[in-house]
A and B are shown apart, each in its own frame.
Chain A
Amino acid sequence: MRIRVWMVLFCFLATSLGHAYDVIFEGESLYHHVYVTEEDGYRYLAFDETRGTQSAMKISDPIFLHYVYARLVFAGLAFCDEPKDVLFVGLGGASMPKFFRHHYGEATIDIAEIDPVVVEVAKKYFQFAEDERMKVYVKDGRVFLSKSDKKYDLIFLDAYNTASIPFHLTTKEFMEEVRRHLKPNGVVVSNIWSPDMNKYFEAEIKTFQATFPELYIFPGLSSGNYIFITTNRAGQVPKHTVVERAAQITREKKFHFDLADLLQSTYQYATHRPCREQVLTDDHAPVEVLRTQRTE
């Protein structure tokens, strides 16, 4: 009896280990169990094996953006002036900073990433490199912003899709801090992961609405990601203007995908979208619990 149990267990382990991908790096950091895997010409970054991948890189073309949501993030470009100063909160596999660096060689890029191991991994396995115009600060995004007076054209918030949401990056106080670092025409792009409709997602919409004059939501289509665009300046940018500018940017910068096409099918103006949840604040942001509560 006991032998049979062990055999079943062994077979189970053998099949579950027989993945099609190769693990090329596995390491423990203070925050994650970091995996780098390879499969079919792509290299992936994952935190904790059971969860989805954080980032993907086409090995033959490190600038190529594999995921639709990673492309959608650059919708932000259609809402602001030619960006000169840009901030990324959260580095991950660095696909977005690399893409941006490639197409906007003149811009200055700051990156705040809390996990030093993630920075090492991005450099070693994802062809990311710092230079005189692109610097990484190993810091919590909010601490980095509170200690800085710099203003940006574009701020990318990409720190929400890990196992637990850092609640202090979801609140109105944080959003106000972010807004304080925007130039007059500045834009914030946030990557919110929400595979189902839950109360956290609603509350986050409400919080963005409470802090910024305009909110646009671009659903990631093939994944549970939603790209939130918020602007410092009031006034709706209508769909046709966004799409025209996206087309112009795609042409001029020679993107490998058609940003205009993507925005044409995903543009949602959400400034007045009704939300039943409360605004998240430093004093009350039960994001983990809200995330487990579905909305009808």
Chain B
Amino acid sequence: MTLRKTILYSIVLVSGAVVLSLEILASRILQPKFGSSVFVWGSLIAVFMAGLAAGYYLGGHLSDRFTSFIDFGLLLLLSAVLLGGLPVFSTQVCGAIFRALHTDSVERTGPLLASLALFFIPTTALGTVSPFAVRLLADDPSRLGRQVGALYALSTLGSIVGTLGTTFYLILWLQMPLAIFLLGVIQALLAFLALAYGLLGRSAK
């Protein structure tokens, strides 16, 4: 396997883990304010799917325009900033939404609004990773099918690791703001990986 492929596969794998880790942690952010009603999970899953859908679409478009590893790195860096900044205002946003809503509607509407406000944009950024990686990977059209398949599989395997790792370990080990911040750090490391490869590759040419 080439270095290029290894890097892309790793980024997709780890980003897949970060998405689901964020989703589990998100439930821990919403529950203290909006309770443990089913609406918390329903809203979260819906908003994460919406964010990923938007990200796939956007990522596909962007990857046709910007085709370098450096662009990819910058996109990853954006997701890192969005994630790392999340704990700075998440409590205040939840509080403001909670106060703004009437007591009869807060349990249903609150989690949906808070999920949208806090997690739609970060998950959109995370969603751009896979299509962008596909574009950078696709060097040989005759092998495109298996390469895209491998990327999807790795992303989803990463999600499994993210889910289990977060519920069984991360929640136990880390305070909430730190755990989310850690996800930002992980995305930043991926960004530097892509940037380094892009820059070194360019100077090598």
A residues sitting closer than 8 Å to B (CB atoms) are 30-31, 114, 139-143, 146-148, 166-169, 171, 173-174, 281-284, 286, 289-290
Contacts and interface: CB of A to CB of B under 8 A. Distances in A.
B168 A139 contact: no
> Counting chain A CB atoms within 10 Å of each CB, which of B35, B171, B175, B177 scores highest?
B35
A290 B28 CA distance: 16
Which 5 A-B residue pairings sit nearest by Cβ, starting from the closest? A140-B35, A283-B176, A147-B103, A286-B172, A282-B32
B177 A286 contact: no
B175 A166 contact: no
Nearest to A166: B36
B164 to A, nearest CB: 12
A284 B35 contact: no
B35 A142 contact: yes
A173 B32 CA distance: 9
Contact of B175 (A140, A143, A283): A283
B32 A289 contact: no
A283 B35 contact: no
Given A114-B37, A143-B33, 13 more contacts: A114-B36, A139-B107, A140-B34, A140-B35, A143-B35, A143-B103, A146-B98, A171-B32, A282-B176, A283-B177, A284-B174, A284-B175, A289-B172
A31 to B, nearest CB: 7
Interface residues of B, number: 20
Nearest to A290: B172
Given A168-B32, A289-B168, A140 B107 contact: yes
28 contacts: A30-B38, A31-B38, A114-B37, A139-B35, A140-B35, A140-B37, A141-B35, A143-B34, A143-B35, A143-B37, A143-B103, A143-B107, A146-B98, A167-B28, A167-B31, A168-B31, A169-B36, A171-B32, A174-B32, A282-B32, A282-B176, A283-B175, A283-B176, A283-B177, A284-B175, A284-B176, A289-B168, A290-B172
Interface in B91-117: 98, 103, 106-107
A68 B33 CA distance: 34
A166 B35 CA distance: 9
Contact of B32 (A31, A139, A142, A290): A142
A168 B172 CA distance: 15
B39 to A, nearest CB: 9
A294 to B, nearest CB: 15
A17 B38 CA distance: 31
A141 B172 CA distance: 24
Interface of B: 28, 31-38, 98, 103, 106-107, 168, 171-172, 174-177
A43 to B, nearest CB: 27
A181 to B, nearest CB: 15
Nearest to A112: B35
Given A31-B38, A114-B37, A289-B171, A143 B32 contact: no
A104 to B, nearest CB: 26
Contacts of B174: 284
B180 to A, nearest CB: 10
Nearest to B40: A140
Contacts of B98: 146
Nearest to A282: B32
A141 B107 CA distance: 11
A219 to B, nearest CB: 27
Nearest to B174: A284
Contacts of B37: 30, 114, 140, 143
Nearest to B172: A286
B31 A143 contact: no
A139 B98 CA distance: 14
Nearest to A148: B103
A143 B171 CA distance: 23
A143 B174 CA distance: 25
Nearest to B87: A283
B175 A286 contact: no
B37 to A, nearest CB: 6
Nearest to A159: B36
Contacts of B171: 286, 289
A140 B30 CA distance: 13
